[in-house]
């Protein structure tokens, strides 16, 4: 009896998930198995935004299909990319490699998109020297204003805030 339970537990998709995980690791992708995102568990998380789901035969059951679709919609609404592979495809070496190539391509696209969005949208591409000069001018202007008014607590502004402040100040009537 114990032997039967052990066989069922071993074959509960874990070996198939391990095959997929091994192939992704072989491609040097940052992977973590069995990750919880809120109250959901994903089979494998690649990087920070790609969820890999390995669907065994039980995922074809009517109630499981609806549950999987709901789970996928929720993860996608949170900004995750969900990629699925069936257990049958995961056991086929060629299909597993093709799937891993798709995961790798998606990972690189997500990573590239995140890197391009790192800079602030208004100041991206603006020469750093001009930003520095703008920051100095704004700080000098604030200094003059504080001498005329009651002291204001100095605060450190981000490049984007400085840029917006400069636009605001330059758009005032009587300014060049």
| pTM (2 d.p.) | 0.59
Q: If you write DSSP's letter for every residue of 79-133 in order, what string do you get? A: T-EEEEEEHHHHHSHHHHHHHHHHHHHHHHHHHHHHHHTSS-TTTTTS-HHHHHH
Q: Which one is predicted more confidently, 127 or 141?
A: 141
Burial 69-106 (b: 16+ CB within 10 A, else e): eebbeebeeeebbbbebbbebbeeeeebeebbeebbeb
Question: Residue 7: its pLDDT value, please?
Answer: 38
Residue 35, classed as helix, strand or coil, is strand
Average pLDDT over residues 142-165: 70
Reported confidence tier of residue 8, pLDDT bands at 50, 70, 90: very low
Dihedral class, residue 31 (left if φ above 0, else alpha if ψ from -120 to 50, else beta): beta
Model confidence at 122: pLDDT above 60: no
- Cα separation, 54 vs 83, in Å, equals 9
Reported confidence tier of residue 25, pLDDT bands at 50, 70, 90: very high
- Cα separation, 4 vs 8, in Å, equals 6
- Cα separation, 59 vs 71, in Å, equals 12
Question: Residue 168: its pLDDT value, please?
Answer: 75
Model confidence at 143: pLDDT above 60: yes
């Amino acid at each position: 009896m114990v032997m039967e339970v052990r066989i069922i537990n071993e074959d509960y998709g874990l070996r198939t998930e391990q095959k997929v995980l091994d192939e992704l690791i072989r491609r040097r992708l940052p992977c973590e198995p069995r990750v919880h995102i809120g109250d959901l568990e994903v089979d494998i998380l690649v990087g920070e935004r790609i969820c890999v789901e390995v669907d065994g035969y039980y995922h074809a059951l009517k109630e499981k299909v609806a549950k999987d679709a709901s789970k996928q919609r929720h993860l996608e609404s949170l900004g995750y990319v969900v990629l699925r592979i069936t257990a049958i495809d995961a056991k086929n070496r060629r299909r597993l490699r093709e799937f891993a190539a798709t995961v790798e391509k998606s990972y690189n696209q997500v990573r590239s998109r995140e890197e391009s969005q790192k800079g602030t949208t208004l100041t991206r591409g603006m020469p750093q020297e001009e930003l520095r000069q703008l920051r100095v001018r704004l700080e000098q202007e604030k200094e003059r204003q504080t001498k005329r008014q009651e002291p204001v607590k100095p605060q450190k502004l981000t490049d984007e805030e400085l840029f917006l402040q400069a636009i605001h100040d330059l758009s005032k009537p009587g300014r060049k």
